[in-house]
Amino acid sequence: MNAKISGIASYVPEDILDNEMLSKMVDTNDEWITTRVGIKERHILREEGKGSSFLGIKAVEKLLEETGTKPEDVELLICATSNPDYRFPSTASVIAHECGMEQAYAYDIQAACAGFIVSMQSARAYIEAGIYRKIVVVAAEKMSSMTDYTDRATCPLFGDAAGAVLVEPTDENVGVIDGEFHVDGSGLHNLIMIAGGSVKPASHETVDAHEHFVYQEGRIVYKNAVRDMLSSTLSVMKKNNLTNDTIDWLVPHQANLRIIDAISDRIKIDPEKVLINIQKYGNTSAASIPLCLDEFKNRLHKGDKIMLTAFGAGFTWGAMYLIWAFDPKN
């Protein structure tokens, strides 16, 4: 028995923050941002009192509608997020409640930008073990809540979004076939929110020092992301006798266009097979892969061989091989 993606949906807020607007906030410009990271604009959730759960609810509601799934039939909801509404309770519990999933258990997974594929691996395990038959995996990220708009190095990178998939069992040769995941805690200080946890609780000093925002050592993150996404992708390809010719699509985490290009070049895959939408949304963390899959779903066909790969804080990274389970709707 395999675990297949039987439906997909996504949501981005209406408000757009483009590079020209950003250049009026910090010392940057469109050319600088475009050449370094390949981003032209990002969507921002500006409404007061709304967090990642709002984005996730919108994506899940679309998913349930498009798949004709009743909320009460969903048995488990897994939410991948680095931007929970609260330290507790879980954002998944908020989404499940607001979507009317009265029978479902729900919990969060924190694997930073790799959160979606890590959550898919968990969903796959539940399905293959026969524990659940209808699982919603949602990645919901209000990245603007942890973005320092006075820091020209990081503020152009991030946008807000959510993506959701329905995962169900199948006896066909489709769905999640293989996955490989790694973590290296020595990367801790290179990509981190320094304050707000139990090590350094919030205080006037931490707020004044801008320690409640994303901090990253860009060059170190770039080098590790390229190396690790590449190695995990090649490893999964080798184990499953895949080549750059037999893969139909490569969907990398949309963090930086130069990272995507470097990985694609080294795999020697046809650029037409690499799905990219970072220019429109920026880095939406765990939401980036389902957001990209949803945007291009009309190009995906049943039987397509797809490689997913992601890298995030921790460092944590991995790759997943799945075979697409449905054709585009007319």
Query: Is 99 one of the catalytic residues?
Result: no
Count of alpha carbons within 13 angstroms of residue 186, beta-carbon side: 2
Among candidate residues 155, 253, 256, 292, the one labeled active-site is: 253
The CATH number corresponding to 2-172 among 3.40.50.720, 3.40.309.10, 3.40.47.10, 3.50.50.60 equals: 3.40.47.10
pLDDT tens series, the chain, 330 aa: 999 999 999 999 999 999 999 999 999 999 999 999 999 999 999 999 999 999 999 999 999 999 999 999 999 999 999 999 999 999 999 999 999 999 999 999 999 999 999 999 999 999 999 999 999 999 999 999 999 999 999 999 999 999 999 999 999 999 999 999 999 999 999 999 999 999 999 999 999 999 999 999 999 999 999 999 999 999 999 999 999 999 999 999 999 999 999 999 999 999 999 999 999 999 999 999 999 999 999 999 999 999 999 999 999 999 999 999 999 986
* Residue-wise burial string across 267-299, b where 16 or more C-beta atoms lie within 10 A, e elsewhere: bebeeebbbbbbebbbbbbbbbbbbbbbbebee
**Is 210 marked active-site?**
no
**Domain span(s) for CATH 3.40.47.10 in the chain:** 2-172, 177-275+287-323
Is the omega angle on the peptide bond into residue 89 within 30 degrees of 0, that is, cis? yes
Is residue 155 annotated as part of the catalytic site, yes or no? no
What local confidence, expressed as pLDDT, does residue 329 receive?
85
2, 19, 190, 283: which one is catalytic?
283
> Closest Cα partner for 305 from 180, 179, 181, 177?
177
Topology annotation, domain 177-275+287-323: Peroxisomal Thiolase; Chain A, domain 1 (3.40.47)
The pLDDT of residue 330: 66
The answer to whether residues 116 and 25 touch, using CB atoms and an 8 Å cutoff, is: no
Dihedral (CA of 90, 93, 96, 101) sign: positive
Of the candidates 113, 155, 190, 292, the residue annotated as catalytic is: 113
Q: What is the spatial distance between Cα 218 and Cα 225, in angstroms, rounded to a whole number?
A: 10
Q: What is the pLDDT of residue 82?
A: 98
